[in-house]
């Protein structure tokens, strides 16, 4: 009897609740990725998570609640991914180079441009989404600015105006990414990374 007490012995779902919740969140992100915010149904999420519709509504209070939770999950992961990824690189040039690749689509949250597009449009109509995307954008730009400032201080870059350089390079990434997300015939991850890098070379007046 004493039995561990703890989290149950060998029940069907072990310490299920948290894990289940997590699964549903992941499923929500997946559904948004494929069906879009507008096309996401509770039944899609339930099916993707392998649970009942009821449970989705039990854990989050509504469909909107699940979507919001997915949004903040994304936000957190984006930040973690970005921070970790950049820490691995050594100098400013390496970091910037790495950012070009990040945009081209690595990591689970960064570079998932379909999701980004969806977020932008949702931000047009939903205040929560607006805040999330603003926060994401701020973070991304702050990281970019930091790398550039670091490089400028080290003499690797010589931008005419840091503020403008940051905005332009961040915007260019977004613009290029649209074509990637929409599967434009002549846009690949490689091409995106190259185009962006060349722009950075120009913009930051990097010595050859």
Partner DNA sequence: GCACGTACTGAACGCTCATTCAGATAGCCT
Partner DNA sequence: AGGCTATCTGAATGAGCGTTCAGTACGTGC
Residues contributing to the site for DNA (CB under 7 A): 5-9, 11-13, 16-17, 20-21, 40-43, 51-55, 57-59, 61-64
> Does residue 105 belong to the site contacting its own copies (CB under 8 A)?
no
Angle subtended at Cα 36 by Cα 33 and Cα 102, rounded to the nearest 5 degrees: 35
Nearer to DNA, 57 or 187 (CB): 57
Nearer to its own copies, 59 or 180 (CB): 180
Distance CA 197, CA 44 (A): 39
Binds 198: which of DNA, its own copies, none (CB < 5-8 Å by kind): its own copies
Residue among 95, 112, 90 nearest 103 (CA): 112
- Please list, in sequence order, all residues whose beta carbon lies within 8 angstroms of the beta carbon of residue 56, skipping any fewer than 6 positions away: 24, 42, 45, 46, 49, 63, 66
Residues numbered 123-152 forming contacts with its own copies, rule: CB under 8 A = 123-125, 130, 133-134, 137
End-to-end Cα distance, the chain = 74
Tallying the residues shown for the chain, one arrives at 208
Residues numbered 35-94 forming contacts with its own copies, rule: CB under 8 A = 35-39
Residues numbered 154-193 forming contacts with its own copies, rule: CB under 8 A = 164, 167-168, 170-176, 178-179, 181-182, 184
Measured over the CA atoms of residue 203, residue 118, residue 106 and residue 184, the dihedral's sign is: negative
- Please list, in sequence order, all residues whose beta carbon lies within 8 angstroms of the beta carbon of residue 50, skipping any fewer than 6 positions away: 23
Nearer to DNA, 54 or 91 (CB): 54
Binds 95: which of its own copies, DNA, none (CB < 5-8 Å by kind): none
Nearer to its own copies, 21 or 33 (CB): 33
Binds 26: which of DNA, its own copies, none (CB < 5-8 Å by kind): none
């Amino acid at each position: 009897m004493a039995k561990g007490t703890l989290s149950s012995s060998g029940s069907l779902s072990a310490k299920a609740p948290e894990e289940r919740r997590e699964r549903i969140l992941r499923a929500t992100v997946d559904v948004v990725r494929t069906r879009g915010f507008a096309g996401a149904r509770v039944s899609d999420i339930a099916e993707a998570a392998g649970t009942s519709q009821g449970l989705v509504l039990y854990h989050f209070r509504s469909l909107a609640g699940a979507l919001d939770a997915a949004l903040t999950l994304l936000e957190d992961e984006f930040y973690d991914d970005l921070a970790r990824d950049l820490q691995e690189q050594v100098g400013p040039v390496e970091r910037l180079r790495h950012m070009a690749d990040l945009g081209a689509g690595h990591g689970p949250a960064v570079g998932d441009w379909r999701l980004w597009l969806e977020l932008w449009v949702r931000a047009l109509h939903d205040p929560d989404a607006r805040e999330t995307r603003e926060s994401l954008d701020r973070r991304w730009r702050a990281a970019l600015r930091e790398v550039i400032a670091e490089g400028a201080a080290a003499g690797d870059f010589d931008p005419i105006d840091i503020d403008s350089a940051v905005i332009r390079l961040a915007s260019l990434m977004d613009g290029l990414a649209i074509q990637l997300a929409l599967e434009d015939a002549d846009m690949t991850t490689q091409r995106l990374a190259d185009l962006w890098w060349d722009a950075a070379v120009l913009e930051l007046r990097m010595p050859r």
